[in-house]
Amino acid sequence: MPTYKYKVASSSGGEARTVSIEAETKEEALEKLRMKGLVPIKFAGVANTSGFASLMGRGTFDQVDFTKRLLPLLKAQIPIEKALGIITDGSDDEPTKLVVSDLRKGLHEGKKFSALIREKNNVFSSIYANMVEAGEESGSLVEVMEELRKFLQARKELKTFLATSMIYPAIVLTVTSGVVVLLFTVFIPKFSKTFSDLGKELPLPTKIMLKIGAVATHPVTIALVILAISGIVVFILKARQGGPTREWWDKNIVKSPIIGTLIVKVEVAKFVRTMAVLLQNHVRILDTVAISKKVVSNSIIAKSLDGVASDLRSGVKLSKALSKSAFIPATVLKMVAIGEETGNVGEMMGETASLYESEIKDSIKRLLALFEPAVILFLAMVVLAVVLSIFLAMMELNDI
């Protein structure tokens, strides 16, 4: 989720300052600022960390790592305020020190831990704040934090799996594209003049390859490629900001034959897993739906869930309310219905989420298993075509 930076002033006046807030879109960020009594003055950009610091996992607050450090201290019955002090003293990460120090200061001022977490919505997700609040109200903060740690770790592992699974295909595709570009822009043009001076009709495959090479190295082609790459970059930047561009992309990507099915599975798994964790920790159903919908990245899928909360207020069962979304599979609806009958909706949704997460990993593995030989076969065919065209031309040269 991106973090947006705004220059703001408080509604009661005072000096302007720059704040960062985590939200899916700029519109949601503005709404969150207004709810906190802040008046946005100027958009200051996106505050997501990138570059070397991001690759090394430094420079941003990691709520998963924070939970892992805090949980053992709470299990040892160390008070939260003292536990936060221990984390601050033992951390070498400056962002972590700043966040934890602010939390500790708030506890000194008599604020609830969940309220402090909720205030820092630029580093803590809404599910984190709601689960901590549920743990405080039920007197089972340690147990809830343990569930939260498992949930955050599982979500992080799924994200890492998806990201690392894309690394190898990206490398193979990049190398293949590079080889093809070199063949048609460097290798073939070097033979072009030699073949054109033969004074004899060249074989058709050779003429085709020379024509492709000439087109590939033409200034107009190069300009068009640069323009296309620039257009793609601009499109990606606009899509990340939300709005019509993001909606167009989200609408069309879910319709694609293979990738679309996988994306729907990923989004449904995130939604169901979040609902399962919240319901199992006694968070109210309306809050659960609202929070779970926010973890859905695809705007079209998220919109299909807009009516769930209003249906629940009207007394409609959860399974019936979810059935109005075209993206919730029948399997999920049946599992929720069984959970409603047995009184274990959260547990059944957890089982369903585990099933979908397993299917996602299997689907990605199958795609990768097909992708590698397909790319290698494509490269082999291109190289064969180039070699064959040159071989035929050399045969003609020997006949002169």
Write down the residue that tokens 């979500």 correspond to.
155
Q: Is the pLDDT of residue 55 over 50?
A: no
Q: What is the DSSP string of 132-200?
A: HHHHHHHT-HHHHHHHHHHHHHHHHHHHHHHHHHHHHHHHHHHHHHHHHHHIIIIIHHHHHHHHHTS-S
Q: Is the pLDDT of residue 207 over 90?
A: no
Q: How far is CA 117 from CA 131, 374, 393, in A?
A: 10, 48, 72
**pLDDT on residue 49:** 43
Bridge partners (DSSP) of residue 46 are: 4
Q: Is the pLDDT of residue 187 over 70?
A: yes
Tallying the residues shown for the chain, one arrives at 400
**pLDDT on residue 322:** 92
How far is the C-alpha of 137 from the C-alpha of 327, rounded, in Å? 34
CATH architecture of the region 63-154: Up-down Bundle (1.20)
Q: Is the pTM of this model over 0.85?
A: no
**pLDDT on residue 211:** 80
4's enclosing H/E stretch is strand 3-10
Least confident of 2-6, 37-41, 385-389: 2-6
**pLDDT on residue 34:** 77
How far is the C-alpha of 67 from the C-alpha of 62, rounded, in Å? 9
Q: Is the pLDDT of residue 51 over 60?
A: no
**pLDDT on residue 50:** 41
Hey, is 307 helix, strand or coil? Answer: coil
Cβ(37)–Cβ(46) below 8 Å: no
**pLDDT on residue 334:** 92
Of residues 133 and 46, more confidence is placed in: 133
Q: How far is CA 290 from CA 16, 31, 210, 287, 312, in A?
A: 32, 15, 60, 5, 12
Q: Could you give the count of Cα atoms lying within 13 Å of 15 in the half-sphere of its Cβ?
A: 2
Q: Is the pLDDT of residue 179 over 90?
A: no
How far is the C-alpha of 388 from the C-alpha of 206, rounded, in Å? 8
Q: Highest-confidence range of 183-187, 235-239, 319-323, 384-388, by mean pLDDT?
A: 319-323
How far is the C-alpha of 122 from the C-alpha of 13, rounded, in Å? 23
Cβ(217)–Cβ(185) below 8 Å: yes
Backbone angles phi, psi at 8, to 5 degrees: -130, 165
20's enclosing H/E stretch is strand 17-22
Q: Is the pLDDT of residue 388 over 60?
A: yes
How far is the C-alpha of 210 from the C-alpha of 372, rounded, in Å? 29
Question: Per the structure block, which two tokens stand in for 67?
Answer: 């939970």
How far is the C-alpha of 114 from the C-alpha of 132, rounded, in Å? 5
**pLDDT above 70 covers what percent of the chain?**
87
Other CB atoms within a 10 A radius of the CB of residue 103 amount to: 24
Least confident of 35-49, 150-164, 242-256: 35-49
Cβ(345)–Cβ(336) below 8 Å: yes
Cβ(166)–Cβ(360) below 8 Å: no
Question: Per the structure block, which two tokens stand in for 189?
Answer: 């043009």
Backbone angles phi, psi at 6, to 5 degrees: -135, 145
Q: How far is CA 386 from CA 59, 161, 213, 219, in A?
A: 48, 38, 11, 22
**pLDDT on residue 54:** 40
Q: Is the pLDDT of residue 227 over 90?
A: yes
How far is the C-alpha of 271 from the C-alpha of 265, rounded, in Å? 10
Write down the residue that tokens 């949930």 correspond to.
151
Query: pLDDT band at residue 15, thresholds of 50, 70 and 90?
Result: low
Question: Per the structure block, which two tokens stand in for 53?
Answer: 């610091």
Question: Per the structure block, which two tokens stand in for 395?
Answer: 């045969």
Closest CA to 123 of 275, 274, 20: 20
